[in-house]
Each structure stands twice: as C-alpha cells, then as structure tokens.
Amino acid sequence: MKQGLTQVYCGPGKGKSTAAIGLGIRALGNNLKVIMIQFLKNDNTGECKTLKSLEPGFKVFHFEKERGFTWTLSEEEKAELAQEIHMALKFAKKVMDTGECDILILDEILGVLQLGFADLKEVLQLVDDKPEFMELVLTGRQLPDELKEKADYVSYIDAVKHPMEKGIQARAGIEF
C-alpha cells in the first residue's frame, strides 16, 4: 500500500470492532497482512475463534489476563492491567517499527484512554510514528479531540436503539 491512513470507529453504538475486522478481512482478501491488538477483551468471542483460521495473514493478539469488568477490579488488578496494556502498546510500536503488517488495528484503544490505563500522548505518538504505508485503525467509544484532529477517517456509530433497553442480554454469535 502506497499511503496508509489513520481510521477511527467510535461512538456508543454496536459494531465498531466488527467494522474494523471487516476492513481487515477486505485487506486480507487483497493480500495485505493484518495485525489486531485487542484491549480490554478476551479471545473467547466468535470473531476471535474465526480469525484464528485466517492466520498468518490476519493475526489477533491479547496481552491481558482474563478478569472481570474494569469497575470490579481491585487497585492491584488495575495496576496489573495497566502493565499489560503498556506491554501491548510497546508491541504495537514494535509492529510499526518492523513494518510487519499493512493494517494495524488497535481495538478498544479509546476505551483504554477513557479509563486512564494509557496516556493520550503515547497513543498520539503511535499515530505520528505510523509508517507511511501502514493503515492504522483505532476503535472505542469516546474519541479525544487531539486524536480526531490526527485521524484521516472518523466514523461515528451511534446507538439509536439497543435490545439491552428491553432487558435482552448479550447473545452468542450476535453480540459476542
């Protein structure tokens, strides 16, 4: 790819990660290599199970131990999670430095920022350090203005209506 850009899928609606994965599958179909680093998630989802079959062209990485939701964690667990996130960000930097993929997806990186597990300056630096040929995709709910300024694409996905409002829980194969 001659010119890689920075894309963001953000907002309160469902489908941000799914959109990023769809982009990755499109890229793979055009012989581009994809690496996705997922933050604040585990690999026990339908998409991760399926993406495993697309290796080595589409690789997914997790650096965090499986644990509960962030609001249920002790201070010790939060500190451990912050260290794991820092390791994942160092890995993202290494991927950029070595140019080992054409598309790098940082799934839920905006959630990491929103929760204070990483510094905005560190993520802004990743955007600045992105190789010219590499597409960078960021997902999450809240997009800081500084990242919005640097992005080439910003897609806002809104939640107009959601089944949780009727008490319908997340369903395997649909929400996870």
Q: What is the pLDDT of residue 4?
A: 96
Cis ω on the peptide bond leading into residue 56 (within 30° of 0)? Answer: yes
C-alpha distances out from residue 102 to 3, 93, 171, Å: 10, 14, 32
6-161 under CATH 1.10.3720.10, yes or no: no
33-48 tens-digit pLDDT? 999 999 998 777 778 8
| Mean pLDDT of all residues belonging to the chain | 93
Tokens standing for 64?
């965090």
What pLDDT shows up at residue 157? 96
Q: What is the pLDDT of residues 76-110, one digit of tens each?
A: 888 899 999 999 999 999 999 999 999 999 999 99
Which contacts of 160-165 are long-range, i.e. CB under 8 A and separated by 24 or more positions? 160/13, 162/14
What span, in angstroms and rounded, lies between the C-alpha atoms of 62 and 43? 7
State yes or no: pLDDT of 49 exceeds 90: no
Q: 0.75 cut: is pTM over it?
A: yes
| Each residue's pLDDT tens digit, 107-148 | 999 999 999 999 999 999 999 999 999 999 999 999 999 999
